[in-house]
């Protein structure tokens, strides 16, 4: 059961949330399509949603982004073809899993034009991305292992598989109703 958001929202715990929803996604895959539409609709419905548009990109995930993940009631992870190619996305995902385990944050995966088993088992484009990561981070194999573990954990959660472009606007609206 997903929590209710907006003005009538109340938490059953003493946890104070800054954001109702944190959106994790690969920018150039979905920012100007599905994720952008989802974000606009969530905000329109009064759901406080964090999206990374104002953050500076660097080699390491920023403390502001980590704080936004920690201060969110729900994380929606939009897996897409190039999600695993971004160490930034993978570091976000590790933090999301940590918050799920330590703060009981709700995590909701969306598989956008990607088969959930490709994410879960690092196949297809996820396999290719990890071949690159393993080469690049050969001296930090533990980091790559954390990324794989986080992908598997989140891909095993109940979520939505969206494979047809024609359903993007309808799915974004459907996602809104899950949170209202």
* 154 falls within a domain: yes
**CATH at residue 133:** 3.40.50.10140
pLDDT at 6: 46
Given a cut of 50, is residue 91 above it in pLDDT? yes
* 4 falls within a domain: no
pLDDT at 137: 92
* 1 falls within a domain: no
Q: Which residues are catalytic?
A: 92
- Range(s) of the domain holding residue 132: 19-178
* 32 falls within a domain: yes
Q: What is the pLDDT of residues 154-178, one digit of tens each?
A: 999 988 888 765 555 555 555 555 5
* 9 falls within a domain: no
Residues in contact with 67: Cβ distance below 8 Å, sequence separation at least 6, in sequence order = none
Q: What's the domain count of the chain?
A: 1
Rounded to the nearest 10 degrees, what angle do helices 63-70 and 87-103 cross at?
Answer: 40
* 6 falls within a domain: no
Q: What is the pLDDT of residues 35-80, one digit of tens each?
A: 888 888 888 888 898 887 655 555 456 788 899 999 999 999 999 9
Average pLDDT, the chain: 82
Q: What is the pLDDT of residues 116-157, one digit of tens each?
A: 999 999 999 999 999 999 999 989 999 999 999 999 999 999
Share of the chain above pLDDT 90, in %: 51
* 52 falls within a domain: yes
* 164 falls within a domain: yes
């Amino acid at each position: 059961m997903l929590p209710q958001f907006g003005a009538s929202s109340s938490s059953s715990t003493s946890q104070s949330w800054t954001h109702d929803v944190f959106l994790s996604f690969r920018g150039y895959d979905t920012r100007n399509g599905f994720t952008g539409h989802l974000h606009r609709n969530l905000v329109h419905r009064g759901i406080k949603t964090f999206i990374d548009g104002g953050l500076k990109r660097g080699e390491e995930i920023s403390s502001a982004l980590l704080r936004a993940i920690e201060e969110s009631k729900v994380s929606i992870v939009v897996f897409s073809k190039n999600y695993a190619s971004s160490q930034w996305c993978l570091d976000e995902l590790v933090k999301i899993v940590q918050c799920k385990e330590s703060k009981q944050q709700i995590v909701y995966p969306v598989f956008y034009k990607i088969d959930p088993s490709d994410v879960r088992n690092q196949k297809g484009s996820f396999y290719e991305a990890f071949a690159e990561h393993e080469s690049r981070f050969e001296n930090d194999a533990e980091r790559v292992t954390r990324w794989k573990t986080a992908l598997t954990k989140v891909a095993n959660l109940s979520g939505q598989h969206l494979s047809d472009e024609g359903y993007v606007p309808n799915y974004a609206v459907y996602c809104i109703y899950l949170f209202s």
